[in-house]
Structure 1
Amino acid sequence: MDHPIFHMIGGGPRPVAPFSHAVEADGWVILTGQMPTDPAAPDAPLPEGVEAQTRRVMENLEIVLKGVGLDLSHVVQCRCFLTEFERDYAAFNETYKRFFPADRLPARTTVGVTALAVGALVEIDCIARRPE
C-alpha cells in the first residue's frame, strides 16, 4: 500500500475546519465535504437557496478534483447532506444530476442533518478513482 498523500489545493475553497482538501492512497482519492463558499471570496454570504448552494458545492468539488488531476467523471461515490431534507430534496436532485451524464451517476447516499458548518443548506463529499 502506498503512503497516503494529503492534498491542499492552491486556490481551492478555504477549509472551515482542520482538514486536507483530499487524501489519496492506492489510486483512491477521498475529497473532504465541500461547502457552498466562494473560493474567491470566502467571507461572502452563501448563495441563496439549495439550487445555488448545490451548484457552488459541485463547482468546489470540481476545483479540488482538478487540483489533483481528476474531474467529476472519476467520482464513484458521493455522500450528500441536507439541512432541510424534505423541503430541498427534489430541487437538490435536479441541480446535482446536471453535473453527471445520466448513464454515469456515482453511487450516492443523501441524508438529512440538523446543521452544517457556515450555516449551509448542503454539503457533499466524494470518492474518486484514478484511472489505471
Structure 2
Amino acid sequence: MAYQPAVAPPKKSKRTLFIVLGVVLALCCSGGALGAFLIYRVAMDATGPVRSTVNTFAGALVERDYPTAYQQLCTRIRDQVSEADFTQQQATEPDLTGHKIVGLSVSNQNGLVTGTATVRYTPAEGGATSRVYPLVKEEGNWRICE
C-alpha cells in the first residue's frame, strides 16, 4: 500500500460569508423601512380627512369666520343650533390668534366610525387653552359633533 497524503479541506471564503450577511442585512433593513412607510401611509389615510376638518373648523374660529366653522358641525348640532345662534355664541368667546392640533384619533367599532381631536388655541391675551372635539363621519365627510 502506497502512502497517500491527507487532502486538506478547502478553505472557506470569508468573503462569501460577508456577502451573504450583507444581503440578509440589506433585505431586513429594506423590509423594515417598507413596513414603517406602509404603517405611516395607513395612519395618514385614516387621520388626514379628520385633520382637514379640524383645521378648517379651528382656523375659521381663529379668523372669526363663523359660517365656515358652522358648516363643519354635524347635522345633529346644526339641527339644534341655528347658524345665527352659533355665531352669537362664538362672538362672546375671547379672541384667538392661532391654533395647533395636538392630538388625533380615529376608531371603528362595529362599523361606527368616530374620532376625536385635541386643539390647542392661543388666546390674544396670552397663554393657551385646549379643546377636545368629538367627530363623526356623515355621508363620507368628517364633522365636529360636540
Please identify the structure whose Cα radius of gyration is greater.
Answer: 2
- TM-score range normalised by the length of the shorter chain: under 0.3
- Which of the two has greater helix per residue? 2
